Amino acid sequence: MKRNKRYTIVAIVGITLIVASISVVFFIINIPGQKTLQIEFTPKEMKSHSNHTAWLLLEIKTSNNELMSNLSISIKTNVSIELEYKIWENEPLRKIVEVFLYPNITHLDNIIEIEAVASSGRISKKDYAKVQVLNWTSNISPTIETMRDVFVNYLSSNHSNFKINKSTVWEGFGNAPFILVVEHYLFKSAFWEIELARHVMVAPYDWVKIYLRPRFSLYPNWSGTINSWSSGNHTIIETEPPDEIYR
């Protein structure tokens, strides 16, 4: 009787250990976050206007290689509008998606809602952004292009590793709606974003600043300032890059 009781206890202990071992293995395989996706727009809201380009960034990341290798992305809007996006895959577990919307006159006074969906297997995550289309116009003047080129020449001479020079082709997007004291302009090349900010004042307060962002990154990696444009002294002072992009 005692022997049978001892065998029963041993059996119970053995079964308990096996169940515990299976639970541990199951927990390890299903560690929280191992099978999840994260998706986020930058910015969540922005202003645009007819014949402007609304340029948003979308970050998608996971800690699971399988999820990323089977990832699909869809982007749609609540209205009919020309839209395109580019996926940058410089990191194995993270993608940066640039989303470009092109409002026209039919979108005036509308708010365009954008839905981005990242899916892999049974897992699907969404995020949303809004673009408000205002009655506004802007353009890139020769003065703004000259300011940009002063910085481009500096980068060509002092940061050759960026591979930016006089032959780099830039596409420009005008000043954001209702921003008057400090104008902001965006320029896009094949691999870079330049944001140029201009303080519309008289010397010595008419500074010009830019930041430089690799298009595969959320964050600028270089910035510089000219203290006063109209002074004629266009010496560029390198500064700490900002922590976020302008839109």
The answer to whether position 247 is within a domain reads no
The answer to whether position 161 is within a domain reads yes
- Asked if residue 178 and residue 228 are part of one domain, the reply reads yes
Share of the chain above pLDDT 70, in %: 86
- Segment holding 11, helix H or strand E: helix 2-29
- Asked if residue 56 and residue 2 are part of one domain, the reply reads no
Mean pLDDT of 138-162: 97
The answer to whether position 22 is within a domain reads yes
Query: How would residue 35 be classed by pLDDT, with cut points 50, 70 and 90?
Result: confident
Mean pLDDT of 110-128: 97
Phi, psi of 235 (to 5 degrees): -65, 130
In the predicted structure, residue 15 carries a pLDDT above the cut 60 = no
Name the residue with tokens 């990191």. 91
DSSP state of 202: -
pLDDT of residue 176: 87
Q: Is the peptide bond before 142 cis (omega within 30 degrees of 0)?
A: no
Average pLDDT, the chain: 90
pLDDT of residue 11: 45
Mean pLDDT of 9-26: 45
In the predicted structure, residue 241 carries a pLDDT above the cut 60 = yes
Please tell me the total count of domains within the chain.
3
Q: Which residues make Cβ contacts (< 8 Å) with residue 172, sequence separation at least 6?
A: 140, 144, 145, 148, 185, 186, 187, 188
The answer to whether position 130 is within a domain reads yes
In the predicted structure, residue 191 carries a pLDDT above the cut 60 = yes
What CATH number is attached to the domain comprising 81? 2.60.40.10
Query: How would residue 113 be classed by pLDDT, with cut points 50, 70 and 90?
Result: very high
Mean pLDDT of 21-39: 56
- Asked if residue 210 and residue 184 are part of one domain, the reply reads yes
Q: Which amino acid is at 234?
A: H
The answer to whether position 244 is within a domain reads no
pLDDT of residue 22: 43
In this prediction the pTM is: 0.84
Query: How would residue 34 be classed by pLDDT, with cut points 50, 70 and 90?
Result: low
- Asked if residue 71 and residue 122 are part of one domain, the reply reads yes
- Asked if residue 178 and residue 105 are part of one domain, the reply reads no
- Asked if residue 163 and residue 181 are part of one domain, the reply reads yes
In the predicted structure, residue 23 carries a pLDDT above the cut 60 = no
In the predicted structure, residue 147 carries a pLDDT above the cut 70 = yes
Q: What is the dihedral of CA 143, 144, 149, 152, to 10 degrees?
A: 160
| Of 136, 151, 132, nearest in space to 198 by CA | 151
- Asked if residue 218 and residue 187 are part of one domain, the reply reads yes
Q: How far are the Cα atoms of 108, 195, 198 from residue 176, in angstroms, in the given order?
A: 15, 12, 12
The answer to whether position 117 is within a domain reads yes
- Asked if residue 155 and residue 119 are part of one domain, the reply reads no
* Weakest mean pLDDT among 34-38, 49-53, 160-164, 238-242: 34-38
Mark which of 83, 117, 134 sits at the end of a domain.
Answer: 134
- Asked if residue 106 and residue 72 are part of one domain, the reply reads yes
Report the C-alpha gap between 127 and 105 in whole angstroms: 27
- Asked if residue 104 and residue 177 are part of one domain, the reply reads no
Task: Output helix, strand, coil percentages for the chain, rounded to the nearest 5.
Answer: 25, 40, 35
- Asked if residue 20 and residue 42 are part of one domain, the reply reads no
Give me the domain span that covers residue 4: 1-30
Instruction: Render pLDDT for 167-185 as a digit per residue (tens, 0 to 9).
Output: 999 999 999 899 899 999 9
